Chain A
Amino acid sequence: MSTLLEIFKSMEYGPAPEAPDAVKAWLDEHGRKFGLFINNEWVMPKGAKFYPSVNPSNGELLAETTQAGQKEVDAAVGAARSAFGTWSKTPGVARARYLYAIARNIQKHHRLLAVLESMDNGKPIRESRDIDVPLLARHFYYYAGWAQLMETELRDYQPVGVVGQIIPWNFPLLMLAWKIAPAIAMGNTVILKPASYTRLSALLFAEIVAEAGLPAGVVNVITGSSKAGSMIVTHPDVDKIAFTGSTDVGRILRQQTAGSGKKLSLELGGKSPFVVFDDADLDGAVEGVVDAIWFNQGQVCCAGSRLIVQENVAAKFIQKLKARMEKMRVGDPLDKCIDMGAIVDQSQWDTIDGWVKTGIAEGGECYQPNIPLPENGLFYKPTLITGLDPAAATVQEEIFGPVLVSLTFRTPSEAIELANNTRYGLAASVWSDNINLALDVASKIKAGSVWVNCTNLFDGAAGFGGYRESGFGREGGKEGLFEYVRPIWMERPRPEFTVDSKWGEHTPTFPSQPTTGRANGHSLPPIDRTPKMYIGGKQVRPDGAYTTTILGAKGKIVGQVGDGNRKDIREAVEAAHKAHLSKPGWAMRHGFNRSQILYFIAENLDARNAEFVKRIVEMTGRTQKSAGAEVDAAVERLFSYAAWADKYGGTVQETTLRGITVAVNEPMGVIGIACPDEMPLLGFVSLMAPAIARGNTVVMIPSQKYPLSAMDFYQVLDTSDVPGGVVNIVTGDRDHLVKTLVQHEDVDSVWYFGSAEGSYHVENESAANMKRTWVGYGLPRDWMDREQGEGHEFLHESTQVKNIWVPTGE
């Protein structure tokens, strides 16, 4: 122990601990044993098994919590279902008051929540006190506002129902807020399962919610292993799953919910780039790195873990960074004079250490500052690995710890390429004092959050979520609401199907025998048309050189189409990508240009109205009037999306940042679309038009039964100035083709309006690269109806939201 005089001379820091007394008293009050929180009551199952909650900074057992089984999960779902009846009908203004009360109550118990969070998770008290808990309250305030406004501002939507929410251990309280606040604001009820390592703050939160007077059953908290998680996910009476966690678990959840009609949102891993240009404030950027990778010991899904520095300042920047690392302080999470606390668990510590060893084995140079660590507890030094190549596993894989890898670049385009050289797309940070450069790079990095000259900023008013394998769905902002509502006309899909392991397999076709209407030899036969695919703006013969004959309603041959195969899909996807690369790429064109093209398509379709009507009648046997209505609706729909082409760009978010936070609705990229059999023209147009209006390029699989309208349609496209590759059409066996699309790693989203079974397969297969999907579960949709056949739902599926944060001030 230093004397005052010694400190006066050395000017060392000393311990500055936050007192744990209140938390200990709370734990004691519960006998250090917790049951499950169901219906606003503690439920202790008979013969319950327990799981220890340990303080990772000192190994101290804090309490034991219950491992829920099927019976308890059923009870929680039952409680939520029963509460849903009244909660969903509680007026928004009343729900708003509950959320407001929760927010207030969080603030009243601010310190208790923060101290408990730090003790259970190991994060510094500064972070839990100044970041996690304030954001927790902020989210409830923000969504209290949307509850207030739902009936007027979201009048076309209804709550989803009972929601299962599974959250990770890195931000137990914050993740809980991101999940619960929008869900209950929109009238859903919730079963929350906190992560095994960090269960306690969710249990305290449950009491705080109950104290705030929330009706029983609206929020239920159950603790348990991943088995309990699976029970929630697969429970038939759960209508939606929201998950934050690893990409691997996300994949399993995607598969477990496939075809069930449950909504799903996933916020998964990342390997986010931190790009520093030579005209950045380098000292500012160094502090940015501290916030990016040493926030929460680097156990952050959006951690800026890949430093990408311009080569001409790289040496200087790394030197500054290393000097800064020497000033880092690692220690007791409750100490108010530290930067980093403890790693959550030994297994995570081992994983991190393993990655550092891998990085060194891969040729990286490892730098760790010469700073002391506490003798006991799970502490890890801030770590920098330089000299690695983009191919190194340490550069590609998420480490989830305080480990930064660094690369260099020469030009802005190379920086963008390196930033995007990842299967993830959660966040990015861009540092430059040149606004043109910074915003250009921000617009080109594929990530859900881009922070310009800042990093790891969060707010209730801005959405957060990933591109690519970082998941789908957004949390925060207005965009976060759509995970918890469904259109008012739509019921919860409960598709029924049996799974055929041969799904998507296909034997090429051969000539069909028409049953009637064979040419009799007396009249002049029509000129034969060779069936083609439409790929890259050109009519091309099917790769396999097989042909499907299409019989009309009366068994008469009405035409032929190519029988597409995997290679046709491959070519179509290539062409769709090329359409983004040509200058200007389809997504880079302005909305006005795209709208002009859509109007032109409508004009040309209308000019051939009679021909399309005739074709529909021939194929489907529907009346002239019905077919006429379909063609007219298709023309109208094109007009609608011509209108939307320059009216869905995004919004300015009212976050707490001084500056501008912009939510940009970016195109998905390349979308594969399998069209419904009903309304062969209108179904096709209703899906193609929103996708291309919002800057996507598409691979269309027309109705398998009635493909000829789509084939006629490419002549309309050809005459309407649609650049080659924006719309590609591949005919053939729908499920066979869509299987290739959904398995294609370079397709960003797949829409499927085929069977219930096909919907299952599409969702299940999409897990391979976590692509976004939109499926119809084989349920009917009235394409003629504007509410069901066009509008926000279609635009929502055509876009992904990127929030760009730009602080201002000179």
Chain B
Amino acid sequence: MTSQNALIHSARNPGMPLDLDWVMGAHVNKSAVERRVESLPKRRTVKKEWQAAWLLRAVTCIDLTTLAGDDTPGRVKRLCAKAKQPVRADMLSRMGLDGEKVAVGAVCVYPNRVHDAVEALRGSSIPVASVATGFPAGQTPLPQRIGEIEQAVEAGAREIDVVIARNYVLTGDWKSMYDELKQFRSACGDAHMKTILGTGDLGTLKQVYQASLVAMMAGSDFIKTSTGKESVNATLEFSLVMTRAIRDYLERFGYKVGFKPAGGISSAKQAMAWQSLMKEELGDEWLMPDLFRIGASSLLTDIERQLYHYITGHYAAKHHMPMG
């Protein structure tokens, strides 16, 4: 086996032919994974201005999300306003970030709400991300799933968060998973494809790793843990396995694939644990919104409160932070 690394490309991951030998030869040891994620947040921590800076950086990586049955144009509009000004201007100023553009990474909505979001964000550079392909379960006929992508792109979504059909992973039908994702990617066109593995539905960490490889070989721009609707969502264990797959893919083919944990990340402390994971396992580039997103809805408020505490030394009240 070669130990030579591939040349690093700056272009978007074009996908690769399905290498089943690589997929089948995967080894992921669960207890070793658990020990790493248990110790990592205790080996790495940031305090004071470093913490504030890291949290602000985390803000820029948030895919500010609303994926609910009661989403309305008004709700989406309010969320988009928050996306454009996630941290109060007076607070940014007191942190010495006057004039620095601090906005979230994207706003993430259902296909039916893409139009509302695009309108609300017009004039900003914040992309709209749309979930698609029968989100969250992926149990819809293929033409409809592809149709959803096309409609979302048509409506102006620049990122499509697709869900894989988990049945392919559970039955080991990597070829079908790969073929479907290739079609999704093709339907995305210039929009970036963020592939949700639904890790909480998968049986083992090894399957998470294998599914990550297949998703990247099929041309994913990002791989993402969860829909937020599984009983277990983003965990550091899943994330470690996926980041290692991203690293292995980079070493082999030279393409950088982004990572997005989603679901259940609601505290600033959690966000920093994920940031440490990205920095340690992948590198500083994966701390920036090009390659790292956090799918979250309530995280932002907690970060604002921590920033407030950093600035004033006082613990903040939730109702002092503008609602999204």
Known: A130-B42, A284-B36. A316 touches B3 (CB 8 A): yes
Chain A residues within an 8 Å CB radius of B78: none
Asked if B3 contacts A4 (CB within 8 A), the reply is no
Q: Are B1 and A4 in contact (CB under 8 A)?
A: no
Question: Which of B34, B44, B288 counts the most chain A CB atoms within 10 A?
Answer: B44
Question: A299-313 CB contact bits vs B (8 Å, 1 = yes)?
Answer: 000000000000011
Is A792 on the interface with B (CB-CB < 8 A)? no
B57 within 8 A of A: yes
Number of interface residues, chain A, beta carbon within 8 A? 47
Contacts A284-B36, A287-B32 given: A337-B3 contact, CB under 8 Å?
no
Whether B173 sits at the interface, judged by CB under 8 Å, is no
Whether a CB of chain B sits under 8 angstroms from the CB of A524 is: no
Q: Is B83 an interface residue (CB 8 A)?
A: no
Hey, which chain A residues are within 8 Å of B35, CB to CB?
Answer: 287, 291, 454
Residues B45 and A337 in contact, CB atoms below 8 Å apart: yes
Q: Is B309 located at the chain interface by the 8 A CB criterion?
A: no
The answer on a CB contact under 8 Å between B29 and A281 is yes
When the two chains form their complex, are residues B32 and A5 in contact, meaning their CB atoms are under 8 A apart?
Answer: no
Could you say which of B30, B31, B54, B205 contacts A11, with CB atoms under 8 Å apart? B54
* A809 to B47 CA separation, bound complex (whole angstroms): 35
Q: Would A337 and B44 be within 8 Å (CB), given that A4-B96, A315-B3 are in contact?
A: yes
Q: Is the CB of A659 within 8 A of B31?
A: yes
What 1/0 mask marks residues of chain A from 771 to 810 whose CB sits below 8 Å from any chain B CB? 0000000000000000000000000000000000001111
Q: Are A7 and B50 in contact (CB under 8 A)?
A: yes
Contact with A along B37-79 (1 / 0, CB 8 A): 0010011111111101110110000000000000000000000
A3-50 interface with B by 8 A CB criterion: 3-5, 7-8, 10-16
Closest A residue by C-beta to B94: A4
* Complex Cα spacing A543 to B2, Å: 58
Interface centre among A2, A12, A318 (most CB of B within 10 A): A12
Decide if the interface of chain B is mainly helix, strand, loop or mixed: helix
By the criterion CB–CB under 8 Å, are A453 and B31 in contact? yes
Q: Residue B19 at the A interface, CB < 8 A? A: no
Contact with B along A315-326 (1 / 0, CB 8 A): 110110000000
Residues in A neighbouring B42, C-beta threshold 8 A: 126, 130, 336
- What separation, in Å, do the CA atoms of A318 and B4 have in the docked complex? 12
Determine how close the nearest CB of chain B comes to the CB of A808; give it in whole angstroms: 7
Chain A nearest CB from B287 CB (Å) reads 5
B172 CB, min distance to chain A CBs, angstroms: 15
Q: Chain B contacts of A279 at CB under 8 A? A: 27
Q: Which of A284, A291, A659 has the most CB of B within 10 A?
A: A284
Question: Across the two chains, which residue of chain B brings its CB closest to A315?
Answer: B3
Known: A130-B42, A339-B43, A810-B205. A8 touches B56 (CB 8 A): yes
Q: In the complex, how many angstroms separate the beta carbon of A304 from the nearest chain B beta carbon?
A: 14
Looking at the assembled complex, report how far the CB atom of A296 sits from the nearest CB atom of chain B, in whole angstroms.
14
Chain B residue at minimal CB-CB distance from A339: B43
CB–CB A4/B97 < 8 A: yes
State whether A315 touches B96 (Cβ < 8 A).
Answer: no
- Distance (whole angstroms) from the CB of B114 to the closest CB of chain A: 30
Tell whether B21 is near chain A: CB-to-CB under 8 Å: no
Contact A8 B57 (CB under 8 A): yes
Q: How far is the CA of A285 from the CA of B29 in the complex (A)?
A: 9
User: Is there a chain B Cβ closer than 8 Å to A280's Cβ?
Assistant: yes
Q: Total number of A-B contacts with CB less than 8 angstroms? A: 116
Whether B43 lies near A126 (C-beta < 8 A) is yes
Give B34's nearest chain A residue, CB to CB: A809
Chain B residues, CB < 8 A from A807: 31-32
A4: chain B residues within 8 A (beta carbon): 49, 52-53, 56, 95-97
Structural contact, A284 and B46, CB atoms closer than 8 A: no
List, in ascending order, chain B residues with CB within 8 A of A293's CB.
none
Shortest beta-carbon distance, B253 to chain A, in Å? 16
Given A281-B28, A807-B31, A337 and B46 contact (CB-CB distance below 8 Å)? yes
In the docked arrangement, what's the CA distance between A11 and B97, Å? Answer: 15
A658 and B244 in contact, given A13-B46, A14-B48 (Cβ under 8 angstroms): no
**A 320-360 contacts with B by CB, 8 A:** 327, 329, 336-339
Query: Closest CB of chain A to B95's CB: distance in Å?
Result: 5
Q: How far is the CA of A479 from the CA of B108 in the complex (A)?
A: 59
Which residues from B are CB-within-8-Å of A315?
Answer: 1-3
On whether the beta carbons of A5 and B27 are closer than 8 Å, the reply is no
Cβ of B13 to closest chain A Cβ, rounded Å: 21
Chain B residue with the shortest CB-CB distance to A658: B31
**B81-117 vs A: 1/0 string, CB under 8 Å?**
0000000000000011100100000000000000000
Residues of A within 8 A of B2 (CB): 315-316
Smallest CB–CB gap between A387 and chain B, Å? 15
B279 within 8 A of A: yes
Known: A3-B96, A337-B46, A453-B31. 16 other contacts (CB 8 A): A2-B49, A3-B49, A4-B49, A5-B53, A5-B97, A7-B54, A10-B284, A11-B53, A11-B288, A14-B46, A281-B32, A284-B36, A287-B32, A315-B1, A658-B31, A810-B206
3 pairs of A and B residues whose beta carbons are closest in the complex: A284-B32, A807-B31, A14-B50
